[in-house]
Structures are given as structure tokens and as C-alpha cells.
Amino acid sequence: MMSMNWMIGLGVMLVSYLPGNPEAILRDRVDLVEVNHYHDARGQHVFDQLIFYDWSSQQRRFQVRAWRLIKSDSQLPKREHRAGLWLVRWHDEGTLREVTATSHRETWTRHDPELVERDFLPQEQRLDLSSRSELSARWQRTSYRPALIGRDGSEALPASNAR
């Protein structure tokens, strides 16, 4: 028998993928996504991370926009052949996130490239990926509000939708 939490989680995930609810996904586009496998000085694997870069025509180099630890193989970039892009889709702190990149690379290093890049562009100056507050602002600007379903199966409109 399925637990209630599992069924709720499945329902939230399915609603996130519905085409009628595009605001439920945080979408970003970057120029390069790197899968970095960081090893210590002894060659021991430490962690894997995704590093997202944008091209700076002014600096004539890629600059780090954001990074995330890879917690499962489902976070690895996948090639979208029709669009000619790389796609990374995962749940990031409870929000479905989708990042597309025009280029992809995979590296094995004994240094953390993201830390090195802080010398060129400090974290505070980075653009970063879209935030939940930006998602909320987009949601508030739309006229669509999801209906609430009562325990008896009847539709109950939130106060903001009451007519």
C-alpha cells in the first residue's frame, strides 16, 4: 500500500510537468554546462558538480553563473538532439528546475574550478539561476489561479479568485 506522503509527492511532481502550468518550472538558459568530477591531491574522488557558465564577450571567457552538487545521475545533462541543446532537469530545494545549455563538457580535476573562478568573478557579482521569488512574481502576474478541491471533491475558489 502506498503511503500518503509518497502519493502527495507524486501528485506534486505530475502537476509540475503539466503543460498548462509552465510557471511551476524555473527555467534558465546558459552557454555552457560542465560536469566536474573533483578529486583530492591523492586522486580520491571528493564530489561531482554541475557548473553553469555564460560567455562574457567583454572578458572573452566563460564566467561561472552558478553551480550545484550532483546528488543523483538524474541531474546529469541530457542531449536534446532536436533543439541542439543540453538539458538539465532536477528538483532544486523543492522546486523543479530546468537549465538548457548550448555547450557541454565533462572534466576530472584536482582543483575546484568554481572556487578558482571566484578570483575572476566573485559570487556576489554572479547572475545566478532564477529564484523562487521570481517564480512567485511570474505566478502573481498571471490571471490563472489553480482551483482548490475540497475533501468532498467540490471546487473551492481561493479568496483572490472569488467573484
**Cell triple for residue 48?**
561531482
Find the domain containing 130 and state its range.
16-161
Residues of the chain with pLDDT > 90, as a percent, come to 56
Taking residues 63-91, what's their average pLDDT?
95
- pLDDT of 16 strictly over 50: no
11 lies in a domain?
Answer: no
Supply the pLDDT for residue 95.
86
Within the chain, where are the H helices? Answer: 4-17, 113-117, 132-141
40 lies in a domain?
Answer: yes
Band (pLDDT 50/70/90 cuts) for residue 69 is: very high
Band (pLDDT 50/70/90 cuts) for residue 8 is: low
Overall number of domains in the chain: 1
Band (pLDDT 50/70/90 cuts) for residue 43 is: very high
64 lies in a domain?
Answer: yes
pTM over 0.85: no
2 lies in a domain?
Answer: no
Calculated CA dihedral for residues 94, 96, 102, 103, nearest 10 degrees: 40
